[in-house]
Amino acid sequence: MAVIVCHGLKGGAGITFTSAHIAMALSEAGAEVTVLTVAPRDSMPLHFGLQPSITLPSLFAPAEDAVLASGINLRSHVRAVDDPDFVPTLLDLGYLEAGADRVMVIDVPAHEFAFARRIIPHASANLCVLNAAPDTLALLPQALGEASPENIARTTFAINALDETRRLSRHASAFIRELVGPRLLGRIRLDEAVPEAMAMLQPLERYAPSSAALSDVRAIGAALVPALETPGRPWVARGQQSAPSTSRAA
């Protein structure tokens, strides 16, 4: 089972939204998908149309305790961030293997950046979710400078909640694209249907199947598939083909 680490540089970037919908895109493509959240309080169930009070079963809970939504196995392992044996455990369970047929998406909160850096070298891909905002731009060069070459080889980026009506947002998006180049897999447009679907306790694909954000995040999920088949393959080597524009933003 290949692993995708999904994290961000700061809270509020939409990491959980992106994790959930990448998982859905891969499931729709035929993969057997598990989503693992490591946050003690998490909004993951809301993106699948589940009650916020639901408790997700442990990664190690038996199959009969599974919570399945949209064909995806939802799991939790809060102690993972402090567990030095987390990566060996994944290896023992057969999760860290190449292949796009079985995938685990790990939703990592922004404040657990050290945990993300620890597991990225063992993952097939790492998606860093950004906002086109000044505080994110200030953090990005430092984050890139601190990343190891091994982690850089697995890292791609997505801009979430891009407001195309705002000049600052468009310019920030263009700056990120210049900085990370073909590692930018796509941009997800700001879409009111996203919070509305959560408020209605419905999956976005049911509440607003023509949602711009849904279309964008599905394209990003599809763009991750090559990394699952060839883990660690440098994204730059695939050139502009690996960075489709999922938005009409300038």
Domains of the chain as residue ranges with CATH:
2-232 (3.40.50.300)
pTM, full prediction: 0.88
pLDDT at 238: 37
The token duo for 128 is 């860093």
| C-alpha pair distances (Å), 216 with each of 132, 223, 244 | 16, 11, 10
Confidence at residue 246, expressed as pLDDT on a 0 to 100 scale: 40
Residue-by-residue pLDDT tens, the chain, 250 positions = 789 999 999 989 999 999 999 999 999 989 999 999 999 888 999 999 999 889 999 998 998 999 999 899 999 999 999 998 998 888 887 776 667 688 999 999 998 988 998 999 888 899 999 999 999 989 888 888 777 777 777 789 999 999 999 999 999 999 999 989 999 999 999 999 999 999 999 999 999 999 999 999 999 999 998 888 765 544 433 333 333 434 433 3
- pLDDT of the residue at 239: 36
Cβ neighbours around 106 below 10 Å, total:
27
Closest CA to 173 of 151, 204, 199, 140: 140
Task: Say how far apart CA 104 and CA 33 lie, in whole Å.
Answer: 6
pLDDT at 208: 98
Token pair of 4 as six digits: 């995708």
How confident is the model at residue 248, as a pLDDT? Answer: 36
Q: Give the type of residue at 22.
A: I
Token digits for 142? Answer: 């430092």
Among 31, 71, 70, CA closest to 228: 31
